[in-house]
Structure 1
Amino acid sequence: MTLQAVVYTGAGVEEYDDVGAAVEAPGETWIHASAGERSDLEAIRERFDIHPLAVEDALDENTRPKTEEYGDHTFVLMKTTQLSQRDDVAFGKEIQSRSVGLFVGDGWLVTIAPPDLELVAPTASAWTRDSSRVADRGADFLAYRVLDAIVDDYFDVLDEIETDIEAVEERVLHDPEPEILEELNGVRRDLLAFRKVAWPAREAVSSLARGDVPQVAESNEKYFRDVSDHLVQVVDLIETYRDLTGGSRDIYLNAVSQSTNDVMKTLTVVAAIFIPLTFVVGVYGMNFSGTPFAMPELGWTYGYPATMLGMALVAALLLGHFRRQGWL
């Protein structure tokens, strides 16, 4: 279904196929349209005198969350989020955000969302048990319920990110493989993308909570303050998780640096042992003979075994020294 019209009255919840009939019916009217149906959007825009620029913003996935007043109605743009598998690598996830536009007027609410986003049914069905609460509190309370559902999903996404961070931290401590760094950077990118959604969303909802918008009743401002408080928690959690991923990245880099230092230490020990041995071999490898200055050891019967024994002794002494220094 590309367009849904729901009217909340004290007697119950009624659904209409025609927008005009829903508007004329008594009660609080909620019209939900799919972002993919331009004809429905144009009809709704004309019926409620919605500014064309606001509709374009609701359809633009690159627009940041915001709140704008247009005379007899207020436009609120929010973003839904979800984690999906990345296509460019075999591991990792990425944040995908979708735009949801809310137009709050006197006794009516219009929402515009992607066609595959289930938005109306869960919220509408939740109030069939006590629809009079919606009818009594107005369309702005309906908008609060939609915003609250969107923000609640933020915590579910954060729970998934937290699980990913814990898994990466475990691997950093026990098996610091090179691809872990790319995973950590991917999580940090996700958190940064999430922050770009949550931070302006907090500002957008705050304007609804502090009495700046005439379409929000004073009695309902406390509900928007609750959503704003949740968004503050979301932003704080994002910053905390960014710090955790930064700490994990530092641990990984330290582990790699320590491993490199161990390798360099081993190579230094080997080089230090072979330097004097190479010198001895080089000296006795000159093979000068037949002159008064020739090395007398060359004619000694035990010259070769003595030289080898001396070289072994030098290597043993150096190994013992490095062991006492803690290099081995």
Structure 2
Amino acid sequence: MTGSQYLKLLNPLALFNTRRTRDIFKVNPTVTPERKEADHIVVSVFDYDKEEIKESSFDRIESCEQFKDNGRISWINVDGIRKKEVEVLCNHFGIHYLIAEDILSVGQRPKIDEIHPVLYCLLNMLYFNEQTATVETEQISIILGKDYVITYQEDASRDVFDGVREKLKLSDSKLRQSGADYLCYALIDMIVDHYYLVMDKIGDRIELLEERIIRSSNKRSLAEINALRKELIVLKRNVGPVRDIVNGFVKTDSQLLEERTRKYFKDIYDHIVQANDLAESYRDMMLNLHDLYVSNVNLKMNEVMKVMAIVTCLLAPATVIGGIFGMNFDIIPYAHESNGFYIATGLMIMVPLVMVFIFRKRGWF
């Protein structure tokens, strides 16, 4: 456990962190957020056909001009987003300025647009941060044009496209034998498949939390329930709209998609529908965990109240006997007897013991 995590446990109020809530719900479509431009960009290009493939890397966007209409399939991946470079590349490939604005946007809802001569989709890659137990997002823009695919990523340090890169290097792979539309499918398929890895991480957290709540419910359990429900909101917000994106690829009449490729997008559609169902199941599980927590707290309270009620009942006879023999009357039975004290004390002990026997026989505790 790190020092910051230990200090967090010392302050129970810190468990109910509201900053994460503000981060999740800060999106306001009426206000144009300002994107912090990347310090530098890295452009990686896979230029290939059935016979050969050429892998290149540049730090200047102008170097991509050679890959337009060269008779081969080109995948141009740009790590790092800067306004000037986005506009230069879009102008060179004849991409509409509205798409350039979407690439530069922040917190955009996943979407698909068909603006001649390209198909454009925007969605988020998801990662699960083990240290903070949060779902992190990275906005991805994918542009499908004639014989080329352009992708924009915000973070150069991580992505989920390594599997696509490895398949491109195999001369007999389906990617090398197909066109740019199949490459676009493979990229989206990788993103959707990675959603399941994130959901598995959340599912494991839910199972562990359920076990802890069953064993012992406390304020920390409630804080963890609240935190996981926030992450499920992030998950649902990013996974849900992808179904419309894939459905748009299936139903589009664009000439950029071959008929044989549409069946692959239908396969992604099945996967994303299943991911949506799984997200809904997790949401129901979190509601059930909250009800379980409330039930355990009420059960503990009932146990405490039962013990207090039993103790009160057991002390009641002693209180009554002590009150009777403590009255200020001249004549009280056994008040002046030498054994009066022992008789009163014996009654105070015997009556509660009889009550305990009766309570146990009836199964009250």
Which of 113, 117, 120 is the equivalent residue of 1:75?
A: 120
Matched with 1:274 is: 315
**Structure 1 residues 120 and 256: alpha-carbon distance in aligned structure 2, compared to 1, 3 A threshold:** closer
CA contact (8 A) 1:83 1:157 kept: yes
Matched with 1:319 is: 356
* CA positional deviation for 1:268: 0.4
SS in 2 for 1:299: coil
Q: How does 1:190-269 map to 2 (within 5 A)?
A: 190-269=231-310
Structure 1 residues 175-184 or 272-281, which shifts more? 175-184
Gaps of 5+ in 1: 88-92
Count of aligned positions: 319
Distance 2:84 2:224 in 1: 43
Please give the per-residue CA displacement for 1:233-258, whole angstroms capped at 9, x wherever unaligned.
Answer: 11111122222333333333322222
Distance 2:67 2:166 in 1: 18
**Structure 1 residues 197 and 308: alpha-carbon distance in aligned structure 2, compared to 1, 3 A threshold:** same
Which of 335, 339, 342 is the equivalent residue of 1:298?
A: 335
Distance 1:121 1:37 in 2: 24
Matched with 1:179 is: 220
TM-score, with normalisation over the residues of structure 2?
0.80
Distance 2:135 2:106 in 1: 13
SS in 1 for 2:283: helix
Please give the per-residue CA displacement for 1:124-171, whole angstroms capped at 9, x wherever unaligned.
Answer: 331121278446532111111110111111111112122222222222
**Structure 1 residues 42 and 304: alpha-carbon distance in aligned structure 2, compared to 1, 3 A threshold:** same
* CA positional deviation for 1:63: 1.0
Gaps of 5+ in 2: 1-40
Percent of aligned positions that are identical: 27
SS in 2 for 1:297: coil
Larger Rg computed on CA atoms: 1
Considering only aligned residues, what root-mean-square deviation do their CA atoms show, in Å?
A: 2.2
Matched with 2:347 is: 310
Paired letter, 2:286: T
Higher relative contact order (CA 8 A, sep 6+): 1
SS in 2 for 1:26: coil
* CA positional deviation for 1:66: 0.8
Paired letter, 1:56: E
Please give the per-residue CA displacement for 1:226-279, whole angstroms capped at 9, x wherever unaligned.
Answer: 111111111111122222333333333322222221111110011112223212
Distance 2:267 2:247 in 1: 10
CA contact (8 A) 2:196 2:275 kept: yes
Which of 41, 53, 56 is the equivalent residue of 1:13?
A: 53
**Structure 1 residues 222 and 58: alpha-carbon distance in aligned structure 2, compared to 1, 3 A threshold:** same
Matched with 2:195 is: 154
Structure 1 residues 192-201 or 309-318, which shifts more? 309-318
Which of 189, 193, 197 is the equivalent residue of 2:230?
A: 189
SS in 2 for 1:225: helix
Distance 2:121 2:230 in 1: 26
Which of 90, 107, 114 is the equivalent residue of 2:154?
A: 114
Which of 55, 76, 82 is the equivalent residue of 1:31?
A: 76
CA contact (8 A) 2:127 2:136 kept: yes
CA contact (8 A) 1:81 1:95 kept: yes
**Structure 1 residues 131 and 7: alpha-carbon distance in aligned structure 2, compared to 1, 3 A threshold:** farther
Paired letter, 1:249: H
Matched with 1:170 is: 211
Distance 1:301 1:167 in 2: 66
Distance 2:332 2:300 in 1: 45
SS in 1 for 2:127: strand
CA contact (8 A) 2:47 2:67 kept: yes
